[in-house]
Structure 1
Amino acid sequence: MDFFSHQDQARKRTGQLVILFVLAVLTLIFLLNILVAGFFWFDRYGSFNPADLGYIIRSIPAEQALLVSLGVLVVVGGASLVKWSMLSGGGKTVAESLGGQQLTPETNDFYEKRVLNIVEEMALAAGMPVPPVYLLEDTSINAFAAGYQPSDAVIGVTRGCMEQLSRDQLQGVIAHEFSHILNGDMRLNIRLMAILFGILFIGLLGRILLEAALNSGRRRSSSSSSDNKNNPAPLVAVGLGLLVIGYGGVFFGNLIKAAVSRQREFLADASAVQFTRNPDSIAGALKVIGHGAGSEISSPERNETAHLFFGQALPFKFGWFKTHPPLEERIKRVDRNWDGQFIAPQKRTDAEAEAPDIAATSAPASRVAELATAVSMTTGMAASLSSSTLADIDMIVDQLSELAHETYSARALIFVLLLAPKSSMTHLHQMDLIRASQGNDLYNLVSRLITLAERLPAKERLPLVEKSFPALKQLSENQYQDFRNTIGQLAKADGDIDIFEWCLYRLVVRYLEPTFSEVKPVKAKYKKPEQLSDDIAVVLSYLAHYGHDNQEAAEQSFNAGVTAADFDGNSIQLQTLDIGTLKPLNQALTKITEAYPHVKGRIIKAMAACVKADGQLRVVELDLVRTMAAILESPVPGLFDEE
C-alpha cells in the first residue's frame, strides 16, 4: 500500500474542500446581501413583493454590499478559526470532547488490557510509537483515530467495540484506524470540522436573532403598546433568513463531507487488510455490527465528528448523508465470498480463552517500593542467566516492557538506556545528575535496572522507548520539562552525542512535545525532490557513512538509495561529512519535513534501499531510519518485512 500517494490524495481533497468552502462563502455573501436589502425594503415600504426582487438586487448600494461581505467573511472566518484553535490540542482534544476517558496501562480490566495490547502491536508494526487509547462508554461497536499527525494521534474505541469483538476482529478495527493515520486522513477530518462550523455559525446567529425577535414579540403582545417601531416582524424575517441560509450551507457541506468520508473508508478498509494480512478480521467486525450491535454514537458531538468513526455514528437512513458506505458493500469488498450472514458478538469466556495471558495478568505495580522489589528480584534472576539464551532475552524484554507501561518507571527506563558503562567516570556523573534532578527514589530504581538493561539487545532499545510514550504522556507539564532536561544532560554527559542518544532524544521531542504544547502542523512547501537535493544528499550520506566502514562501501550504499528513488545522481551525490556532529543532519531533516508526502515517500524509499544495499541491516541503520521517518511524520508499516 502506497501510503504516501494516499496522503497526497488527502491533501488534494483538502484543497478541493477549500475551493468548495470559498464557493459556499460567496453564496452566503450573495444571499445575505439579498436578505439585508429585503429587510430595508420591507422597513421602508411595509411589504415585500417577489416581483420586486430583481429591482432590489440591482439597487443594493455598493457600501452596503461591501459591509455585508466583510461581515460574512469576519463571522465565518472567525468562527472557523476559533474552532480550529479549539482543536489545536490535536487528537486528545477531540477524544475528550466526545466524552472519552484515557485508558492507562495500570488497569486490571481484561478488555482494556487487551485493546491496549493490540494498539501497541499495531503501532510497532506501523513503525510509529504507541498512541494513547480513549474509551467511549457506548454499547455500540465503533472506533476512531484523531489528531493532526502521527505524533499527536489518539485511538478511541467504544465499550461495545472493546467487549463484543474477538481479538482478530478488534485487530482489524484498530488496523483500519491506523490506516487513517498513515493515509493522512486525520488532518483532513479536523479541517472538515473547522470549515463546517464556520458555515454553521451563520445559522446559529440566525437562531439567536429569531429567538430574540419571538421573545420580543411575546413581550409586546402581552403589553398594551402598539408602537410599530417595535414591530418584531423584520427581525423575525432576518433571523429566519439567516437560519435557512446557514443551515442550508451546512446541508450541502454535510453532503460533501459524507461523500469524502465514504471514499476514505473504502481506502482504510483495503489498507487494513494489507496491514493485518487477514481479510476476515475487519470483515468479521463489520459482520458483528450488522448482527445487531450497531455503530451509533450517543455523544452530543457526534454530528461534528461522525466522519472520524469506523462505522456510521449517526442514525441517518438517507444515503447521501451517510458518512460511511453501506455495511454490506464494505463487507463484500473485503470478503467476496460472503454468504450474507452476520456474526454474533464474542462472549467473555471465549475472549479470555483466546488470550489467557492477558486475563491472568495484573496491573504493574505503581508504587515505588513495589516496583523496586519486583525489579530487584528480576535483576537477580537475569544476572544468573545465560545471555545467549533466547528465552532469557525474551524475559528481559518482557520485564522492561512492563516497566515501560507505568509512568514512574518509564522515566527510570529511559534514563538507564542513556547510561554509559558502569566502569566509566561518565556513568558516575550521570547517576549524580539523576539523583540531583529526580530524587533518591528514582535514582534507586535506575540503579536496580542497570544490570537488566545491560543485557538488553541493542535492537530492542528503541522499540522499548517507543512503548513508553503513552505512559510518559501522563506526566505533568513540569515533570515533562524536568524529564526532557534530564535526558538532554545525560546524553551530553560525555561531551558527545552518539546515534542512539540522538534517536532517543529526537523521538521524545517528536512524540511527547505535542502533548505539552500546541500542535503546529508543518505546511508542505516542496513539491519536487530537486528543491531538496542538498538536504537529501546529507541524509543519505549520514546513513551510508554510519552503516559502512570504508568509502567504497558507503558510496555503493548511497548510490543504491539514489537509484531506488529515481533521484538525479548528478545533483545528489555522496558528501564527505564530519559524522562527529549531527547538526547538518538536523538542519536537513527540518527542511525535508516541509516536503509533500510523495517526495517524502521517495526519500523513505531511498533510505531503505541505502541500508539494504549490502544485505546487512545494522542496528544503527535501523535506528536512524526509524527515527528519521518519525521526524518526517512518515511511518511506514512493513518497511523491512523481508529482513
Structure 2
Amino acid sequence: MNFFERQAAARRSSSRLVVLFGLAVLGIVFAVDFAAYLVYGIGEDPLPGERAALLFTTTVLTLGVIGLGSLYRIASLRGGGETVALQLGGVPVSADTQDFNLRRLRNVVEEIAIASGVPVPKIYVLEHEAGINAFAAGYSPSDAVVAVTRGALDKLNRDELQGVVAHEFSHILNGDMRLNIRLMGVLFGILMIGLIGRKILLHGSGRGRGAGAILVAALVAMVIGYIGLFFGRMIKAGLSRERERLADASAVQFTRQTDGLAGALKKIGGLDEGARLADRNDAEEVSHMLFGDGVGFSGLFATHPPLLERIQALEPGFRSEQLETLHRKWMDVPPNGLEEDVQLGLAPKGAGRLPSETTTFAVTPPMVVAQVAHPAPDDYKRADAIVGTIPAEVRALARRRDTVMPLLLALLLDDDKRLRTLQREEIAARLGLAMAEDASQLRAQHLADLHAALRLPLASIAFPELRLRPRPELDVFLDTVEAVVHTDGQVSLFEFCLARLLQVQVRESLDPSRHARFGRTKLTGVKREVATLLCVVAQCGHDNEGDARAAYLKGIERVLQHDHLPYLPRKEGVLALDAVWAPLDALDPLAKQAVVEGLVATIGHDNQVTVAEAELLRTICAVLHCPLPPMLERA
C-alpha cells in the first residue's frame, strides 16, 4: 500500500473502533441491567412498569458514566502527544543538550524527519525506564512527540536506535498515531465503572447501615469493570498487532537494512528488563502505541506480534536458541550502545550531495505518489547532506528561543529591496523594531544565498523551538507572517506556501485535537478548488500563457479527466489559493492522491522539473498533509 491507501485504511480503522466501542458499551449496559434486575428481583415481584423504569434508569446512568468518562479523557488529551509524554514522566530533550546520547538521538530524529518531509517532532526521554521502548504520540505531525526510554538510549547502537525511531515515524506518517491517542480517550469510558468500584473498595464504604449494600455494589462494579477491561484489551489488540507488523516493515523500507531493527528486538528479548515499563497502569493505557510490549500481554490480549516472530520476519534463520545465547552473554556484560557505535564505525555519514539549483530532472505522477511518506536510502543521504550543508551557525539559530522567529521571518523577506523595506515595516509594527532588524540582518548574513532545497528543512528544524513560544506570541507571529507575505500582493508561490505551512503547523500544534481528522470529501465536491490550484501553479511556473495552459490541461486531465474545466488565469495570483487549502485538505485520502498526481503532471508536463519546482511541490504537499521526501529525482 502507498501512503494514501494506508491513510484510507486508517480511516476505516477509526470506523471499526466506533463499532467495537459500541459493542463494548452494549455488553456493559447489559451486565449492569442484569445485575440490577437480579438485585431488584430478590424481594417481592415488582410491577412490570417498575422493572422497565429500573432498567431504563440503569441504562441511562451507565451510558452517562461511560460517555462522561470518555469525554473527560478525550478532553485531558487535547494537548496531543506532549500530554502523553508528560503523563509517562517524559523529560524534553533540549536543542543544546551536551549529553552525547541525547545529541545522537536528536540527530537521528532530525535526519528521519527531514528524509520524511515532516516537521521535526518534540523529543522526550523516559529517564526512569530501564527497558528498551519508545512511542510516537499526537494527533498530527505538527504536534507529534517521539519518546524513547533511557534504556533504549544506553543499550542501542545508532543503527538500532534509527530502526526504532523509523518504526515510530511510520506511525506518525500512516495515521496510526491519531488513532492510538483517540483509542486512549474512548477506552477510558468503558473502564469507568470498574474504576469507580475499585475506588470505593480501596477507600472503604464506612460502617453505617448501608455499608454492606455499598460494598456489594462496589464488588459488582468491579466485576462489570472486568468486562470493560476485557473489551478494552481486545479492541487494542485487534487494532494494534497488524499495525506493528506494518511499522516494522516500513522501518526496514525507510532504512533499507534489517540489522538495526532486528538488533533492537534481540536486545529486548535478551535482556531481563525487556521492553517493560515500570508503572503497569500507565503502561497498559499506552500499550497499543509502544514499540515493544510494555506490559507482558500474550495471546488474545497481545498488542504486538510475538517477539520471535518479529525478529524472524527480519532474519528468517533466527532461532529461539540464539536468543538464549544472547541472554547469557548480556547477563555477564550488558550491551552499551555508544561502545558499539565506536566498534562498528556508526558515525553519521555525509554521503549525500545537493543538486545544483539549475539541475532539471523528470518525474511522473506514480513515481511521486509512491514516495509520499516513504523515504528511501537516497533520502537519508540527501537529509544528511542537507543538515551538513546548512551552516552550523544557522542550525544553531533555528534551535534558539530568541532567534527562531526572526530566522523564519527572514526566510520570507523578498529579494526586491523596496518590497523588503515594506515587509520590515510590517514586522516592526507588530513585533517591534528589534525583531525587524534581526530578521533583516539574518537574511543578509545567512540566508541571501541559501540553496532552495534548504529552506523547508531549515523551517522544519526551527519548528520544535518555535512552538514552545507562549500562545499570545505565536498568534502575533502568525499575524506578522500573513502581513509579510501579503505586503503588496506580489507574492511568489513558494513564499505563499511556506507561510501557509507555518500557519498550518503552528495552528495544529496549538490545538492538536481540533485538527485531527481523516478527510471524507470526494473530488466531485472540490472541482473548482482543484482547478484553481492547478491554474495558479501553471501560471506561476510559466511566463507564456500557452505553456501555462498546456501545463494546466495536463494536470486537470489527470485529476478530473471526465470534466471539461477550461484554463482561466486567476487575476489575484497566489492569493486565490487562500480559499482552496481547507477544502482540499479535507479530501478523502484516495482523492487527495489524485490531486497530488495532478500537481506532478502540471509541474512536470515538459519533463523538466527544477529544484525550485520540486521544493514548491514538497511545500504544497506538506500543506495538504502528504509529506514528500527531499529527493524526487529518482530513476
Residue 501 of structure 1 and its aligned partner are, at CA, apart by 2.5
| Residue correspondence of structure 1 range 216-227 to structure 2 within 5 A | 216=206, 219-220=207-208
1:12 counterpart residue number: 12
1:576 counterpart residue number: 568
Aligned length: 585
* Cα deviation 1:442-499 (Å, max 9, x = unaligned): 5554454213211212332222112210111221223323322333333233443322
The residue type paired with residue 498 of structure 1 is S
Matched, 1:40 2:40: yes
1:301 counterpart residue number: 282
1:490 counterpart residue number: 484
2:168 counterpart residue number: 177
**Distance in 2 between residues matched to 1:80 and 1:478, nearest whole Å:** 30
**Distance in 2 between residues matched to 1:246 and 1:392, nearest whole Å:** 53
2:292 counterpart residue number: 311
Contact 2:131 2:152 in 1 (8 A): yes
Query: Residues 337 and 547 of structure 1: is their aligned pair in 2 closer, same or farther, counting only changes over 3 Å?
Result: farther
Contact 2:138 2:512 in 1 (8 A): no
**Distance in 2 between residues matched to 1:119 and 1:249, nearest whole Å:** 37
| Residue correspondence of structure 1 range 70-469 to structure 2 within 5 A | 70-137=60-127, 138-210=129-201, 215-216=205-206, 219-220=207-208, 230-292=209-271, 293-299=273-279, 300-316=281-297, 318-338=298-318, 341=322, 345-351=335-341, 354=345, 397-421=391-415, 424-435=417-428, 437-438=430-431, 442=435, 445-449=438-442, 450-469=444-463
**Distance in 2 between residues matched to 1:26 and 1:7, nearest whole Å:** 29
Contact 2:493 2:540 in 1 (8 A): no
Contact 1:38 1:56 in 2 (8 A): no
Residue 324 of structure 1 and its aligned partner are, at CA, apart by 0.9
What root-mean-square deviation, in Å, do the aligned CA atoms of Structure 1 and Structure 2 show? Answer: 2.9
Q: Return the index of the structure with the highest Cα Rg.
A: 1
Query: Residues 579 and 143 of structure 1: is their aligned pair in 2 closer, same or farther, counting only changes over 3 Å?
Result: farther
Residue 39 of structure 1 and its aligned partner are, at CA, apart by 2.4
Aligned-pair identity in percent equals: 37
- Structure 1 residue matching 2:609: 3-state secondary structure: coil
Gaps of 5+ in 2: 350-384
**Distance in 2 between residues matched to 1:588 and 1:575, nearest whole Å:** 17
Normalised TM-score (structure 1): 0.84
Query: Residues 271 and 560 of structure 1: is their aligned pair in 2 closer, same or farther, counting only changes over 3 Å?
Result: farther
Residue 548 of structure 1 and its aligned partner are, at CA, apart by 2.8
Work out which of the residue numbers 552, 558, 566 in structure 2 matches 1:558: 552
The residue type paired with residue 7 of structure 1 is Q
Work out which of the residue numbers 539, 557, 579 in structure 2 matches 1:587: 579
**Distance in 2 between residues matched to 1:516 and 1:25, nearest whole Å:** 32
**Distance in 1 between residues matched to 2:191 and 2:104, nearest whole Å:** 40
Task: Answer with 301-310 or 505-514: which moved more.
Answer: 505-514
Residue 560 of structure 1 and its aligned partner are, at CA, apart by 4.0
1:382 counterpart residue number: none
**Distance in 2 between residues matched to 1:352 and 1:473, nearest whole Å:** 35
Residue 180 of structure 1 and its aligned partner are, at CA, apart by 0.7
**Distance in 1 between residues matched to 2:317 and 2:398, nearest whole Å:** 43
The residue type paired with residue 411 of structure 1 is M
The residue type paired with residue 145 of structure 1 is A
Contact 1:148 1:186 in 2 (8 A): yes
**Distance in 1 between residues matched to 2:46 and 2:628, nearest whole Å:** 59
Query: Residues 296 and 524 of structure 1: is their aligned pair in 2 closer, same or farther, counting only changes over 3 Å?
Result: closer
The residue type paired with residue 510 of structure 1 is V
Residue 420 of structure 1 and its aligned partner are, at CA, apart by 3.0
Task: Answer with 261-270 or 307-316: which moved more.
Answer: 307-316
Contact 2:536 2:570 in 1 (8 A): no
2:598 counterpart residue number: 606
**Distance in 1 between residues matched to 2:17 and 2:190, nearest whole Å:** 13
1:387 counterpart residue number: none
Query: Residues 492 and 638 of structure 1: is their aligned pair in 2 closer, same or farther, counting only changes over 3 Å?
Result: closer
Query: Residues 629 and 164 of structure 1: is their aligned pair in 2 closer, same or farther, counting only changes over 3 Å?
Result: same
- Structure 2 residue matching 1:27: 3-state secondary structure: helix
Contact 1:146 1:154 in 2 (8 A): yes
Query: Residues 440 and 112 of structure 1: is their aligned pair in 2 closer, same or farther, counting only changes over 3 Å?
Result: farther
- Structure 1 residue matching 2:135: 3-state secondary structure: strand
**Distance in 2 between residues matched to 1:32 and 1:532, nearest whole Å:** 48
Contact 1:37 1:60 in 2 (8 A): no
- Structure 2 residue matching 1:215: 3-state secondary structure: coil
Task: Answer with 141-150 or 403-412: which moved more.
Answer: 403-412
The residue type paired with residue 608 of structure 2 is Q
The residue type paired with residue 467 of structure 2 is K
**Distance in 2 between residues matched to 1:512 and 1:574, nearest whole Å:** 36
- Structure 1 residue matching 2:95: 3-state secondary structure: coil
1:531 counterpart residue number: 525
1:49 counterpart residue number: none
Residue 326 of structure 1 and its aligned partner are, at CA, apart by 1.0
* Cα deviation 1:89-137 (Å, max 9, x = unaligned): 1111111111111111111111111111111111111111111111111
2:379 counterpart residue number: none
Gaps of 5+ in 1: 46-54, 221-229, 359-390
Residue 243 of structure 1 and its aligned partner are, at CA, apart by 1.4
Query: Residues 165 and 612 of structure 1: is their aligned pair in 2 closer, same or farther, counting only changes over 3 Å?
Result: farther
**Distance in 2 between residues matched to 1:348 and 1:525, nearest whole Å:** 44
Residue 188 of structure 1 and its aligned partner are, at CA, apart by 1.2
Contact 1:393 1:456 in 2 (8 A): no
Matched, 1:474 2:455: no
1:2 counterpart residue number: 2
* Cα deviation 1:228-269 (Å, max 9, x = unaligned): xx2533333222112111221211220221132111100111
Contact 1:534 1:572 in 2 (8 A): no
Residue 198 of structure 1 and its aligned partner are, at CA, apart by 0.4
Query: Residues 491 and 636 of structure 1: is their aligned pair in 2 closer, same or farther, counting only changes over 3 Å?
Result: closer
**Distance in 2 between residues matched to 1:139 and 1:59, nearest whole Å:** 59
Residue 639 of structure 1 and its aligned partner are, at CA, apart by 7.3
The residue type paired with residue 522 of structure 2 is K
Of structures 1 and 2, the one with the larger relative CO (CA 8 A, separation 6+) is 2
**Distance in 2 between residues matched to 1:545 and 1:466, nearest whole Å:** 28
Residue 84 of structure 1 and its aligned partner are, at CA, apart by 0.7
**Distance in 2 between residues matched to 1:460 and 1:116, nearest whole Å:** 19
Residue 594 of structure 1 and its aligned partner are, at CA, apart by 1.7
Query: Residues 446 and 59 of structure 1: is their aligned pair in 2 closer, same or farther, counting only changes over 3 Å?
Result: closer
